């Protein structure tokens, strides 16, 4: 997955940030939290990832890697029983309600990990190739990887 760096961005810094965001997603994926805790942790991960990658990669790439359509759905979800039922459901296991939500969160996190790995691998490959292409139109730290002559 080719990503577009914002003009003036240092590829090395973006690679480091992508590694950090990926590691955090992998840690999140390994958690055994209940749906509500995973929901909150996922939203915190998205906020942190956006903060790290904003102004480093294009908005379209940030949307593909972090703020996906499913993220918008997750953001709108409330994983608590309605207040009317709180007194009657105090000790009831809500796994039948939150199980599918947790599965959706796990799927979303797995897809983030897959996409981040692809973006990291592609940018790493291009970063290794670009020094040998120095005279071929690469702009240092900019969004253009190669230009045709």
pLDDT of residue 4: 93
CB 84 within 8 A of CB 130: no
pLDDT of residue 127: 86
Q: What is the pTM of this model?
A: 0.76
Structure token digits, residue 3: 């990503």
Structure token digits, residue 58: 């294009």
What stretches of the chain show up as alpha helix (H) in DSSP?
11-29, 35-53, 59-65, 69-76, 95-129
User: Residues near 78 by Cβ (< 8 Å), separated by ≥ 6?
Assistant: none
Strand partners, 57: 5
Q: In whole angstroms, give the CA distance from residue 123 to residue 23.
A: 17
Q: In whole angstroms, give the CA distance from residue 139 to residue 8.
A: 9
Residue 4 gets which letter from DSSP? Answer: P
Q: In whole angstroms, give the CA distance from residue 66 to residue 56.
A: 13
Average pLDDT across each block of 10 residues of the chain; the chain has 149 residues. List them in order: 91 95 95 87 96 95 94 80 51 58 91 96 89 48 39
């Amino acid at each position: 997955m080719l990503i577009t760096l914002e003009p003036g961005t240092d590829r090395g810094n973006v690679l480091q940030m992508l590694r950090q965001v990926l590691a955090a997603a992998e840690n999140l994926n390994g958690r055994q939290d209940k749906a509500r805790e995973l929901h909150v942790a996922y939203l915190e991960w998205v906020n942190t990832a956006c903060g790290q990658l904003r102004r480093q990669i294009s908005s379209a790439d940030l949307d593909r890697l972090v703020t996906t359509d499913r993220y918008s759905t997750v953001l709108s979800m409330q994983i608590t029983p309605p207040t009317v039922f709180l007194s009657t459901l105090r000790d009831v296991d809500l796994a039948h309600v939150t199980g599918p939500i947790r599965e959706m969160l796990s799927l979303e996190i797995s897809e983030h990990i897959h996409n981040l790995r692809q973006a990291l691998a592609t940018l790493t490959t291009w970063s290794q190739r670009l020094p040998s292409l120095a005279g071929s139109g690469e702009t240092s730290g900019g969004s253009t990887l190669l230009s045709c002559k």
